[in-house]
Structure 1
Amino acid sequence: MKDFVLLQLMKLMPTHAISRFIGSLAQRPVSRQFIPLFSRVFQIPVEEAEKSTMEYGTLNEFFTRKLREGLRPIATSPYAVVSPADGRIAAFGEIKEGQLIQAKGVTYTVWNLLGMKESEASAFEGGRFMTIYLSPRDYHRVHAPVEGQITDYSYIPGTLFPVNAFGVRAVKGLFAMNERLITFIQSSAGRVGVVKVGATVVGSVKVGYSKEAGTNIKAGTLVQRQLPSAIPVERGGELGFFEFGSTVVLVFEKGKVEFEDRIHEGLAVKMGEQIGQLNK
């Protein structure tokens, strides 16, 4: 009952406007005075940051901080599939009959997630997926799980429900409803989708390979873009970043990838560590 009431209240809130407003505030110089409080409240490991806390000009600069060089070594095996971000594994498994698991007893479809026709998403049938939740304390840059070439991307407008435990419980099909920016990588693992899911108070998602791509766009419309030329990316190469926390969903084609036996729901992972391997 409590989740139902909270969800109805959330539906009444202008979440896009609120997210843009908070994102705008976080980019103003005055916001830097909140960095120490933000760090304490969310227990952020500030010693990992590239710069000292007060060298950041705004709260947004701090939130999207880079890490000290060498702090996240990338798995070196040529067959390694690595975590694209710091976070916790919320769900993983096989894509069966086009379904991905959101939570116990709750599923959503791969074609809705990727903004494709069901026939276009057929290559992912029988493939693997993994959902990684990034909390406010985490490093918020997103990296390539495999080596390959960035070929295209999609921006799919949608809702901005929270992606925390409440959102996952209360909103069916959450990750296929919230707005998202999807980077497609062509690789030895076939076509890989790196889905960056927006959420309440996520100012936006930015990527380095396109100045036009982003999320939380006013009056947003579906955008599907083939890049003028494919952009090479190394395993662990940076794709973009979240301005405030959210979720990454990885999708792999059938028969291309297997996850490590040690993987389980709730496991904390660091960007660059091996989470699976390519089928040889």
Structure 2
Amino acid sequence: MSLVTRLTYALPHRFLSSLARSLAYSKHPKVSRWLIDTVTRKFGVDLEEAANADPRSYDSFNAFFTRSLKPGARSAHVDADSILMPADGRISQCGPIRNGEIFQAKGRSFTAGELLGSAVDAQPFADGVFATVYLSPRDYHRVHMPWTGTLTRTVHVPGRLFSVGPNAVRLVPRLFARNERLVCHFDTDFGPMVLVMVGALLVSGVETVWGGVEIPQYGHKITEKRYENGITLERFAEMARFNYGSTVIVLLPAGVATLDPSLHAESPVRLGQRLATLLRR
């Protein structure tokens, strides 16, 4: 295990992430410009796609980081039976969920029950499919709906805040089932669908379109919110955003869809492309 990864076990994760949040929301021009310039240069951010292409016009790093795109910069796949990619980024892993096990990296996996914080909630996905999408600092950081769904519950699962970069994914056991995360449960016309917003080291927070800021506050126990009347979000509609690079995981139940055969670990992906093809409703 690398020295950097070893250090992440000992680092005060929440303190560092709270500090990063303070910097990200700072409206001091020197702070925000330095952060924006550094990330733009280091990660090659393409501002031509942004609704606002002037990096100097953002009043904070977070405003820049969660920037919207120009109309038409992304579009939903034309095939109406296509379940959509929820975000820009790259595939960390994708494939079948085998007897409730989700593959993380060579020699490493975790269970759907661990990820969702409930063995009961995991049962519909025991032999389904999953896709883990990593958003790097250069990417568009809003997450959109793969399919039309009605929100029924969110579950805030407390945990650590390890990095979710490639090295950590290879080296940290059960990484995505250990990090702080927000599990979003949807009912669809094909059955249940789950999107998991996974926090990470130096992530300032997770926000949803229905509830605003969800993380932080960082949790110490599993917290559930129920939406008795439901909140319906259409296919391709924005659902949430990260305030720094992280990971979103999509779970689909067995017999519902087949993943697009072009997808594999390390595949670069764009919001709206085909994630999977629906088999039934």
Q: Using structure 2 for the length normalisation, give the TM-score.
A: 0.94
Distance in 2 between the 1:93 and 1:219 partners?
Answer: 30
Question: Which residue is equivalent to 1:28?
Answer: 26
Instruction: Give runs of aligned pairs for residues 1-280 of structure 1, distance below 5 A.
Output: 2-3=1-2, 5-30=3-28, 31-34=31-34, 35-51=36-52, 52-116=54-118, 118-211=119-212, 214-280=214-280
Displacement after TM superposition at 1:32 (Å) = 2.3
Distance in 1 between the 2:150 and 2:4 partners?
Answer: 42
Per-residue CA deviation, residues 207-228 of structure 1 (Å, 9 max, x unaligned), is 01114x6123245431111114
SS of 2:214 mapped into structure 1: coil
Unmatched segments (≥5 aa) in structure 2: none
CA RMSD after TM alignment: 1.4
CA contact (8 A) 1:207 1:239 kept: yes
* Aligned AA (2:192): R
SS of 2:161 mapped into structure 1: coil
Runs of 4+ residues deviating >6 angstroms: none
* Aligned AA (2:49): E
SS of 1:21 mapped into structure 2: helix
Displacement after TM superposition at 1:36 (Å) = 2.4
Distance in 2 between the 1:275 and 1:153 partners?
Answer: 23
SS of 1:214 mapped into structure 2: strand
Displacement after TM superposition at 1:251 (Å) = 0.5
Distance in 2 between the 1:85 and 1:190 partners?
Answer: 22
SS of 1:276 mapped into structure 2: strand
Unmatched segments (≥5 aa) in structure 1: none
Distance in 2 between the 1:71 and 1:267 partners?
Answer: 20
SS of 2:215 mapped into structure 1: coil
CA contact (8 A) 2:156 2:219 kept: no
CA contact (8 A) 1:142 1:239 kept: yes
